[in-house]
Amino acid sequence: MDPYKYRPSSAYNSPFFTTNSGAPVWNNNSSLTVGSRGPVLLEDYHLVEKLANFDRERIPERVVHARGASAKGFFEVTHDISQLTCADFLRSPGVQTPVIVRFSTVIHERGSPETLRDPRGFAVKFYTREGNFDMVGNNFPVFFVRDGMKFPDMVHALKPNPKSHIQENWRIVDFFSHHPESLHMFTFLFDDIGIPQDYRHMEGSGVNTYTLISKTGKAHYVKFHWKPTCGVKSLLEEEAIKIGGSNHSHATQDLYDSIAAGNYPEWKLFIQTIDPDHEDRFDFDPLDVTKTWPEDIIPLQPVGRLVLNKNIDNFFNENEQLAFCPSIVVPGIYYSDDKLLQTRIFSYSDTQRHRLGPNYLQLPANAPKASHHNNHYDGFMNFMHRDEEVDYFPSRYDPVRHAERYPIPSALLKGKREKSIIEKENNFKQPGERYRSFAPDRQERFIRRWIEALSDKRVTYEIRSIWISYWSQADKSLGQKLASRLNMRPSM
3-state secondary structure of 434: helix
The single-letter code of the amino acid at 410 is: S
| 421 Cβ neighbours under 8 A, 6+ residues apart | 29, 30, 36, 146, 147
**Angle of CA points 426, 148, 160, to nearest 5°:** 100
Q: Which phi-psi region, left, alpha or beta, contains residue 94 (left: φ > 0; alpha: ψ -120 to 50)?
A: left
- Helices 45-55 & 151-158, crossing angle to 10 degrees? 30
Instruction: Answer yes or no: 65 catalytic.
Output: yes
Asked if 64 and 155 count as a contact pair (C-beta separation under 8 A), the reply is yes
Q: How far apart are CA 471 and CA 477, in angstroms?
A: 9
The single-letter code of the amino acid at 15 is: P
Q: Which one from 46, 132, 138, 427 is the annotated catalytic residue?
A: 138
Which residues are known binding-site members for heme? 348
DSSP secondary structure string for all residues of 231-245: ---B--HHHHHHHHH
DSSP secondary structure string for all residues of 346-400: HHHHHHHHHHH-TTGGGSTTTS-SS---------TT-------S--SSS-TT---
Asked if 151 and 347 count as a contact pair (C-beta separation under 8 A), the reply is yes
Asked if 302 and 261 count as a contact pair (C-beta separation under 8 A), the reply is no
Which residues are known binding-site members? 348
* Bridge partners, 103 (sequence order): 69, 122
The single-letter code of the amino acid at 330 is: V
The single-letter code of the amino acid at 146 is: R
- Give phi and psi for 41, each to the nearest 5: -95, 135
Asked if 95 and 89 count as a contact pair (C-beta separation under 8 A), the reply is yes
3-state secondary structure of 221: strand
Neighbours of 378 (CB within 10 A): 9
Q: How far apart are CA 159 and CA 109, in angstroms?
A: 10
Q: Which phi-psi region, left, alpha or beta, contains residue 425 (left: φ > 0; alpha: ψ -120 to 50)?
A: alpha
DSSP state of 247: -
Instruction: Answer yes or no: 402 catalytic.
Output: no
Cα distance from N-terminal residue to C-terminal residue, the chain: 53
Q: Which one from 65, 220, 225, 354 is the annotated catalytic residue?
A: 65
Could you give the residue numbers annotated as active site?
Answer: 65, 138
